[in-house]
Amino acid sequence: MSEQILPLDAWHRRLGARMVEFAGYQMPIQYDGIIAEHKWTRESAGLFDVSHMGQLIIAGGEAEKGLAALLPTDLSILKEGRPKYSLLLTIEGGIIDDLMVTRRGDHFYLVVNGATKEGDIDHLRAKLPQGVVLDHMKEQALLALQGPKAVDALACLAPGVAELTFMTGGAFPLGGATCWISRSGYTGEDGFEISLPANAAERIADLILEQPEVKPIGLGARDSLRLEAGLPLYGHDLDLSTTPVEADLAFAISKQRRLSGGFPGWERIAAELADGPIRKRVGLLVEGRQPVREGALVVDGEGNEVGKVTSGGFSPSLEAPIAMAYVPLASAEPGSRIEMAQRGRIYRGVVAAMPFVPHRYHRKGAPQ
């Protein structure tokens, strides 16, 4: 994949970001340091550029029927402007990608992962009925404003956004442009994702950054924040070999679809829901101070490989190393002792309930 330029590339460099290659783009890994940015987001509000992600419109008379055949979501009860977490699945039940799907008037709006978007688009175009139109919204940028003070910062720029609750969205004027704003995110904190015209991205990012609650945040802190929140990352914790039940994502399968099926991989997924999977994604609290990293082997008492660490790092909030791993179902209960091997060293840990740090989403009925 040839390297592509994001709308805010020059903006990041102007702010002194250290840039790295990610998903075919140059993206900011950090500005002032990962731990400082992580803590700022937990305490105030962090602005993330997530324009590398794929924004898609699926439209046409057969759009709902076509998407329903590919996703385990009951689209018939999906309300207007309500983003829903869902999954693209193979016929074997493996995860092609995880995504957000929203009904917006006469079309569906999908946000897919940056590293997989081209493959997702090919898959959707091959599987959707003729006459269904897929528009890859390359003219749109995407920002995420996350943290307990995100609502304070955004509400003075886009009046009305404070009325949104977790997993709701709508169109709002912001910085002279019409933006689609949803109250959601990938940090475990309250916050918003803002789809905006790419040609207005710098102006609007500057407006948001003028708010005293806000600082720019890079990919490094985005990863440590989502790990603390127990949220999986495609290509690491999820891939074609993992099923939603193994990945502890069965909540993404609508109740009616569990009974009726009609989506790829249903037979295997139904069996795993009934009988349990062979393995499961779990959280781990790692003993000591040294983090265990992705790729470490989960081993039994004889040193045989029985699982694998898929994400790991140091938690700035807990001031301790944490990880996610796939382990045998018999070892997946909180409190189970786990041993891991990496670079000739044995690490010990204990299975912990996720999220490691409580989610603070603004749900309906919660005080503002």
Taken in order 326, 331, 335, 338, the sign of the CA dihedral is negative
Q: 3-state DSSP call for residue 134?
A: strand
Return the pLDDT at 364.
Answer: 82
Q: Please name each of the domains of the chain with its CATH number.
A: 9-48+138-228 (3.30.1360.120), 278-352 (2.40.30.110)
Q: Alpha helices of 164-288 — where are they, by DSSP H?
A: 201-209, 219-228, 255-260, 266-275
Sheet holding 140-146, edge to edge: 169-174, 177-182, 191-197, 140-146, 45-49, 214-216
Provide the CA 314 distance to its chain's centre, in angstroms: 19
Q: Which residues contact 288 (CB under 8 A, 6 or more apart)?
A: 321, 347
- Count the Cβ atoms, other than its own, within 10 Å of residue 336: 16
Is residue 101 within 8 A of residue 109, CB to CB? The reply is yes
Is residue 317 within 8 A of residue 228, CB to CB? The reply is yes
CA distance 127 to 83: 22
Q: Which residues of 169-193 are buried (b: 16+ CB within 10 A; e: fewer)?
A: bbebebbeeebbbbbbbbbbbbbbb
Is residue 266 within 8 A of residue 274, CB to CB? The reply is no
Is residue 325 within 8 A of residue 307, CB to CB? The reply is yes
Q: What does DSSP assign to residue 199?
A: G
Is residue 31 within 8 A of residue 215, CB to CB? The reply is yes
What values do phi and psi take at 178, rounded to 5?
-95, 125
- Four-point Cα dihedral 121, 123, 124, 129, nearest 10: 140
Q: Residue 190's closest CA among 46, 33, 28, 35?
A: 46
Return the pLDDT at 113.
Answer: 98
Amino acid at 254: S
CA distance 176 to 166: 25
Q: Tens-digit pLDDT profile for the chain (368 aa)?
A: 456 899 999 999 999 999 999 888 999 999 999 999 999 999 999 999 999 999 999 999 999 999 999 999 999 999 999 999 999 999 999 999 999 999 999 999 999 999 999 999 999 999 999 999 999 999 999 999 999 999 999 999 999 999 999 999 999 999 999 999 999 999 999 999 999 999 999 999 999 999 999 999 999 999 999 999 999 999 999 999 999 999 999 999 999 999 999 999 999 999 999 999 999 999 999 999 999 999 999 999 999 999 999 999 999 999 999 999 999 999 999 999 999 999 999 999 999 999 999 999 999 876 55
CA distance 144 to 99: 15
Please report, for residues 52, 77, 304, 323, 334, the alpha-carbon distance to residue 240 in angstroms, rounded to integers and kept in the order given: 21, 28, 24, 21, 26
Global pTM? 0.96
Return the pLDDT at 1.
Answer: 44
Return the pLDDT at 299.
Answer: 98
What are the DSSP E strand ranges found in 17-78? 18-22, 25-30, 45-49, 54-59
Is residue 250 within 8 A of residue 65, CB to CB? The reply is no
Return the pLDDT at 47.
Answer: 99
